[in-house]
A and B are shown apart, each in its own frame.
Chain A
Amino acid sequence: MSLTIRIIPCLDVRGGRVVKGINFKDIIDAGDPAEAALRYDQEGADEICMLDIDASYEARSTTLETVEKIANQVFIPFTVGGGVKSIKDVEILLKSGADKVSINTSAITNPKLISEASKEFGSQCIVVAIDAKYDSENWHVYTHGGKNKTELEALSWAKEVEQLGAGEILMTSMDKDGTKSGFDNMLNSKLANILKIPLIASGGAGKLNHLVDAVKLGKADAVLAASIFHYQEISIKEVKKALQEEGLSTRL
């Protein structure tokens, strides 16, 4: 009788292909994004996320074709991110079939983009993605796919983008991403405590109990994972069953 915990498979896409990296490096090819999206929908995904990890200007039209292809077949919420720099970029992605647009680096270089985009298209379609890494006493925000360290601290940055009009926070722990050692539940629970908007936990899924812990300990509203779903190590159904056994509500 309440909102269900959302399970979100993520497609990391480059040049129209799904790819997967380890700790933001060592990229390998992992198949066709539209096929993968359709399979996830059939398996009971609550949402699909697609991140264009290359996002170069030249590759943009390929990305839009992929977005359109997915949107024509999959009728669940669809978030697209990667290289979003302007209101125009947001608009083009929404027109191509995205329901939500995720903004990362440009949210930092141009925070006005968050307030303007949420005003123009509604907060519900603006997701701010944050990549953060722990550094002795707090979590630092990184930009450009984890390449550049900023002075920003993740918790206060998340609170700031919430005030600017972000509708959701997609939090990726760079320490955990690709390690399959579990989510950064310390970071996530601290975030969940201060945020009014939903928190999507990302980075570190390896075993079934990691996803359950991301909700129970990390207090996340939604859990995002890429490779465990992509390589069929764990099915979405198994995750939902495990959440239900813990008394957490899920769809299906």
Chain B
Amino acid sequence: MKIGVIDYGASNIFSVVRALNSLGAKTSVVKKPEDFNGIDKLVFPGQGSMGSCMSRLNEAEMTIPMKEFIEEKPFLGICLGLQVLFSGSQESTEEKGLGVFSEEIKKFNSPKDTKLKIPHMGWNQIDFSQDHFLWNGLESGEDYYFVHSYISCELKEEFIYSKTEHGQTFNSAISKDNIFATQFHPEKSGKLGLKFLENFLNWRP
């Protein structure tokens, strides 16, 4: 089994690759349309801006093969990789997302509590909303590592698998069929994150 890791040219993909390799997975970097050949599962890690990410994916002619891939094969989106699944983001009115979910990504409300800092960076609790194969061996209420300024807050309950609170409640894990995505970084969340990635490697949706 080969895991493709999307490299759209502006994100540090090395920690995800290292974490997957440490679990014994074979990985290959996906940065052009041909790279999708022979890939069994896809991981899309990323940090930063959705607009520039989508325009880079479009320029590299990666958007269509990626849409085709996620129609049938297991996909894990991490952080920005969760956000690109939506139809768009408040941060960029020009570039559209992949549109798996019709809602929009929003910026964190400017916090009423001035001690609350944005970006939301550090370890925070995820509370499971429903059971999933990827939660095997993990418990609701444990801490994972986050770094982000934008969030998914509107989504049909059936797609929400965990929620997290930072001044407001947002969706920290979502899923639909063969697609799973987290706002947290499993590759930086220590033992629990590695267990989660191991579950993804074993997942047969």
**Contact code string B106-135 (vs A, CB < 8 Å = 1, else 0):** 000000000001111111110000000000
**Contact code string B184-202 (vs A, CB < 8 Å = 1, else 0):** 0001111001100000000
Q: Complex formed: what's the CA distance from A73 to B190 in Å?
A: 10
CB atoms of A198 and B165 under 8 A apart: no
Nearest Cβ on chain A to B26's Cβ, whole angstroms: 16
CB atoms of A4 and B188 under 8 A apart: no
By beta carbon, the residue of chain A nearest B187 is A75
Nearest Cβ on chain B to A8's Cβ, whole angstroms: 11
CB atoms of B122 and A76 under 8 A apart: no
**Contact code string B166-197 (vs A, CB < 8 Å = 1, else 0):** 10000000000000000000011110011000
CB atoms of A71 and B120 under 8 A apart: no
By beta carbon, the residue of chain A nearest B119 is A124
- Taking the complex as formed, is B99 at the interface, i.e. its CB lies under 8 A from any CB of chain A? no
A-B contact count (CB 8 A): 77
Q: Complex formed: what's the CA distance from A68 to B74 in Å?
A: 29
Nearest Cβ on chain A to B118's Cβ, whole angstroms: 8
Q: Complex formed: what's the CA distance from A1 to B14 in Å?
A: 30
By beta carbon, the residue of chain B nearest A124 is B147
Main secondary structure of the interface of B (DSSP, over half): mixed
Interface residues of A (CB under 8 A from B): 1-4, 6, 41, 46, 71-73, 75-77, 94-95, 97, 99, 121-125, 167-168, 196-198, 221-222, 251-252
Across the A-B interface, the 9 shortest Cβ-Cβ residue pairs: A251-B143, A3-B122, A251-B123, A4-B123, A124-B147, A122-B48, A76-B190, A1-B165, A94-B12
CB atoms of B124 and A3 under 8 A apart: yes
Q: Complex formed: what's the CA distance from A89 to B165 in Å?
A: 36
- List, in ascending order, chain A residues with CB within 8 A of B15's CB: 71, 75, 97, 99
CB atoms of A6 and B165 under 8 A apart: no
CB atoms of B193 and A196 under 8 A apart: no
Interface residues of B (CB under 8 A from A): 12, 14-15, 18-19, 22, 47-48, 117-125, 143, 145, 147, 165-166, 187-190, 193-194
Nearest Cβ on chain A to B97's Cβ, whole angstroms: 19
Q: Complex formed: what's the CA distance from A196 to B147 in Å?
A: 15
Nearest Cβ on chain B to A216's Cβ, whole angstroms: 13
Report if A4-B124 is in contact (Cβ < 8 Å); known contacts: A97-B15, A196-B117.
yes
Q: Residue B12 contacts which of A72, A121, A168 (CB distance < 8 angstroms)? A: A121
Q: Which of B123, B145, B166 has the most CB of A within 10 A?
A: B123
- List, in ascending order, chain B residues with CB within 8 A of A4's CB: 122-124, 143
CB atoms of A124 and B124 under 8 A apart: no
By beta carbon, the residue of chain B nearest A197 is B117
CB atoms of B165 and A2 under 8 A apart: yes
CB atoms of B121 and A198 under 8 A apart: yes
Q: Complex formed: what's the CA distance from A198 to B145 in Å?
A: 15
Q: Residue B122 contacts which of A75, A94, A122, A198 (CB distance < 8 angstroms)? A: A198
Q: Complex formed: what's the CA distance from A131 to B194 in Å?
A: 36
Q: Complex formed: what's the CA distance from A15 to B84 in Å?
A: 42
Q: Known pairs A3-B117, A71-B18. 4 more at Cβ < 8 A?
A: A75-B188, A76-B188, A94-B14, A221-B122
